[in-house]
Amino acid sequence: MDKKKFAFYYGIVLIAVGLGVFYRIPEVTEQVANIVFFSNKLLIVRFCFYMLGIFLVIAGSIRVYKNFR
C-alpha cells in the first residue's frame, strides 16, 4: 500500500474514532461522575472529551482533504 492510500484510510479511521468519542461521551461522563475526585470537575472533563473528538474529526478531515487535492 502506498503512502497516499494509507493517509486516506488513516484519515477515515481518525474521523470514525472522533465520531465514536462523541457517541460515548454521555455514557463515560456518567461513569466519571461516580468518581469522587472528578465529581466537582465534570464540566472540565466533558469539555476535554468534546475537544478530543473535535481534534480527531478535524485531523481526519484534513488528511482526507489533502488526499483528494
Q: Is-above-0.75 flag for pTM?
A: yes
Total count of domains within the chain: 1
Given a cut of 90, whether residue 68 has pLDDT beyond it is no
Residue 30 domain boundaries = 3-68
Average pLDDT of the chain to the nearest whole number: 92
Given a cut of 90, whether residue 54 has pLDDT beyond it is yes
**CA-based torsion, 45, 47, 48, 52: positive or negative:** positive
